[in-house]
Amino acid sequence: MNKVELELDQALELFSAASIGKLINGLVHNLNGPLHTLGMEMDVLSFLFSKNPDLEPDFASNFSTRLKRMEEEFEKLNRLIRQTADRAELFSSPPPAFINLNHLLQEELEFLSANLYFKHRVQVSLDLDEKAKTVKPRTSYLSPALRWFLQGLVEDIERNQIQALHIMTRGEPNQLLACFTTREHSLSSDILELMTSEGKPEQGFMELGGKCSVEMLVAVSTIRSSGVSLSHDSSTDHSEIHLGFPYE
C-alpha cells in the first residue's frame, strides 16, 4: 500500500493549498463573463473610433495607442485564464494511458512562465529527443506528479537565485532518460537528498522532513512509486538530476 507520512503542519499546508486551488478554480469560472463583456466593449470602442476620421490628431493618436495597449493586456489576461482553466481540467480528467514527456515538459514550462523570476531571470535551454518513445505510467498520478516536481524545481531555482536550467531527454534501450541541469549554482541539499532517499521505491514510502515543500515531497514519492529511478550528480557549482522512465 502506498503511503506518505505527514506531520500536522505539513497536512495543514497540503489542505491549505487544496483550498486555494478550489478558490482559484471558482474565480476563473466567474471571470469569464466579465472578460467576455470587456472584450465586446473594446471591440465597440475600436469600431466607433474607426468611424470618426475627424478627431483631433493628437487625441486620435493617444486614444489608438491606449486602446491597443488595453487589447494586448486583455489578451494576456485571457491567455492566463485559459491556461488556468486547462490546468484545472487536466487534474480532474482521467489519467492518460501514455505520457509524451517532451510535450509535458514544454507545456509545463509555458505555464511556469507566470513565475516572474523564472520568466525573466532564468535562461532555459531544451534538448529534447524527438524520437523518444511515450511512457506508460504505472500509477494514475504520474503526470500531475511530474508537473509538481517541475514546480518545486522552479521554486528552488528562485530560492537559490539560479539563472540557467538545461533540460534534456534521451531515449535509451530500456528507458527514457530526463536530465535537469543547473549551472553556476547548486539546488538545495534537501531537494538533492530526495533524489537518493533510501526506502522502498516500489511502495513510494518516504518520511517527510527538511525544508522541502509538501508538494515536492509528494511529487518525488509518487514518481518513485511509478518505477521511475531518481539520482543526481551535483557539486557547489551545478546540479544534475536524472529521472529514468522504464518503457514497461
Homologous superfamily of the 101-246 domain (CATH): Histidine kinase-like ATPase, C-terminal domain (3.30.565.10)
Q: Which of 63-77, 118-132, 151-165 has the weakest average pLDDT?
A: 63-77
Contacts 24+ apart (CB under 8 A), 76-80: 77/35, 78/35, 78/39, 80/114
* Interval 111-128: pLDDT, tens: 888 788 998 999 999 999
Report how far residue 10's alpha carbon sits from residue 88's, in angstroms, rounded to the nearest whole number.
Answer: 23
- Indicate the SS3 state at residue 175: strand
Provide the percentage of residues in the chain whose pLDDT is more than 90: 34
| 8 A C-beta contact, residue 151 and residue 218 | no
**Integer angstrom CA distances of residue 5 from 11, 139, 146, 209:** 9, 19, 20, 10
Q: What is the pLDDT of residue 203?
A: 40
Q: Is the pLDDT of residue 181 over 90?
A: yes
Distance CA 188, CA 234 (A): 10
Domain boundary assignment for the chain? 8-92, 101-246
Distance of CA 46 to the CA centre of its chain: 36
Mean pLDDT, the chain, rounded, equals: 83
What confidence score (pLDDT) does residue 121 get?
93
User: How far is Cα 171 from Cα 132, in angstroms, rounded to an integer?
Assistant: 5
> pTM for the complete prediction?
0.71
The pLDDT, as a whole number, for residue 114 is 76
Q: Report the candidate in 24, 21, 9 with the shortest Cα–Cα distance to residue 217.
A: 9
Is residue 139 within 8 Å of 222, Cβ to Cβ? Answer: yes
Is residue 14 scored above 70 in pLDDT? no
Q: Where are the alpha helices (DSSP H) in 51-163?
A: 57-92, 101-111, 116-121, 142-159
* Mean pLDDT to the nearest integer, 202-226: 69
pLDDT at 75 over 90: no
The residue behind cell 539520482 is 231
Q: What is the pLDDT of residue 90?
A: 67
Give percent of the chain with pLDDT exceeding 70.
84
Q: What is the average per-residue pLDDT within 105-112?
A: 88
